[in-house]
Amino acid sequence: MLYETFEKIYSLEAAGKKITKLNVGEPDWRPPIAAIKAAQNALSKGKDKYGSSYGELTLREKLAQLHGCSAKNIVITPGSKWGVYSLLRLHLSAGDNAVVFSPHWSAYSLMCQSFGTEARLVNLKMENGWKPDLCALASAIDSKTKMLVLNSPCNPTSAAFSEGDERKIIEIVRDRGVTVLSDDAYRGLLFEKRKDRLLEENLLIANTFSKTFGMTGWRIGYAVVPEEIAKKMVSLNQITFTNVPLFIQAGAEKALEDKEKFAAKVRKLCVQRAGIATKKLRGHFEFSKPEAGFYLFPKLPDEIDTMKFLDRMLDSGFAMVPGGAFGDFGQHFRVSLCREKETISIACDTMVETLEGFC
């Protein structure tokens, strides 16, 4: 459903309609200028040949420092999507299941389906601020459960589990012999900053340069995993994409040098944008207070048809994603606030007017 929505918008654009794409989870900020220059420089100096399927050692060493491990635990991937995919692929066989909190990024369930496994959804509630339901989690696990996917902060809700809850989750599943895959794509954009997650037993981490650094199209992410899993990932990398281009890795390495300052700047921007949207939409839509990044996941009143609402928004030039793309949340929609403040303001006013048009 997520990807179908994208196609519908592309065809409207091809027909000449101007659409503000609040449907895409893609930062509008530029990557660090020093990263761009480093990539250009590396390219012109001949860093355009094959490379190691682990990734460049110097980049992996820097990432290892952030995650309290050795470079042997780091594998560079083409975006974190490949990291998530390959880790699920390496841990799940047909008939197994992976437990996933929902609402969730639909790629998890589509990936599981693609190799004949079940994504076992544990539905969370907006009324509880999308906090984890630990009892439901414990009862979702059975002998066929091999993984739990943790995505905190979450796409699409922008809710983050508390560090205490994350710890409880990791311990509950560890006791049951289940591995946690933590997709930390939005962790760098937490409004209340936390350090990068450290590698520990039974925990695998996928992370990316896409969101914090606005480097979506560079296609670079990484996995933080035990050495033997790193080796398996590398074997898979060798028979698939080989390596992330070396000049891209050079740019990413440069981006890390100024990570704290850059992240603080974009975090501030996200907080401001979330503030504008929250102020405009509060009292009209129900939604939880965003704790990170750039998504809101508002709920429409029961009597309103989500697809009709989104079609009317599209007629007004704003694209958003129906909640059904993220699980059993058909009364919700996801809006991505990756636009300048004025556009967010107009979009929110249009949402309110469109809602009122149904009354």
Give 79 or 226: the residue with its C-beta nearer to ligand PMP: 79
Nearer to ligand PMP, 293 or 354 (CB): 293
Q: Retrieve residue 153's tokens.
A: 């902060």
Please identify, among the stretches 11-19, 60-68, 73-81, 111-119, the one whose residues bind ligand PMP according to the rule CB under 6 A: 73-81
What are the strands, taking DSSP E only, across 94-229?
97-102, 118-123, 145-150, 179-183, 203-208, 221-224
- Output the smallest distance, CB 215 to ligand PMP, in A: 8
Least distance CB 95 / ligand PMP (angstroms):
25
Dihedral over alpha carbons 250, 245, 91, 323 (to 10 degrees)? 90
Cα–Cα nearest to 202, from 235, 180, 227: 180
Torsion sign over Cα 343, 192, 186, 126? negative
CB of 120 to ligand PMP, least distance (A): 18
Whole-number Cα distances in Å, 100 to 137, 150, 218: 9, 7, 28
Contacts (Cβ under 8 Å, ≥6 apart) of 147 = 88, 91, 92, 98, 99, 178, 179, 180, 181
We find the least distance from the C-beta atom of residue 283 to ligand PMP, in angstroms, to be: 29
Among 27, 31, 32, 79, binds ligand PMP (CB under 6 A): 79
Residue 209 Cβ, how far from ligand PMP at the closest point, in Å? 7
Q: Using the rule CB under 6 A, which residue among 23, 145, 155, 179 binds ligand PMP?
A: 155
- Cβ nearer to ligand PMP, comparing 25 with 323: 25
| Shortest CB 105 distance to ligand PMP, Å | 4
Rounded to whole angstroms, the Cα distance separating 283 from 269 reads 24
Please say which residue, 52 or 216, places its beta carbon nearer to ligand PMP: 216
Of the candidate residues 56, 96, 166, 183, the single one contacting ligand PMP (CB under 6 A): 183
Segments of 43-186 assigned E as strands: 74-77, 97-102, 118-123, 145-150, 179-183
Instruction: Please state the closest distance from residue 151 (CB atom) to ligand PMP, in A.
Output: 5
d(CA 207, CA 180): 14
Q: Which is nearer to ligand PMP, 111 or 281 (CB)?
A: 111
Nearest residue to ligand PMP, by Cβ distance, number only: 79
Binding flag, residue 187, ligand PMP (CB under 6 A)? no
Q: Give ∠ CA 60-232-141 in degrees, rounded to 5.
A: 105
Residues sharing a CB contact under 8 Å with residue 179, sequence separation 6 or more, in sequence order: 91, 146, 147, 148, 173, 202, 203, 204
Which of 221, 251, 323, 327 is in the footprint of ligand PMP by CB under 6 A?
A: 221
Q: Is 210 in the site for ligand PMP (CB under 6 A)?
A: yes
Closest C-alpha to 148, from 115, 172, 178, 118: 178
Which of 78-86, 192-200, 222-230, 248-256 is the region at the interface with ligand PMP (rule: CB under 6 A)? 78-86
Least Å distance, CB 9 to ligand PMP, is: 16
- Site string (9-48) toward ligand PMP, x via CB under 6 A: ----------------x-----------------------
Does 81 help bind ligand PMP (rule: CB under 6 A)? yes
Instruction: Kindly state whether residue 216 participates in binding ligand PMP, applying the rule CB under 6 A.
Output: yes
Q: Which residues bind ligand PMP (CB under 6 A)?
A: 25, 79-81, 84, 105, 151, 155, 183, 185, 208, 210, 216, 221
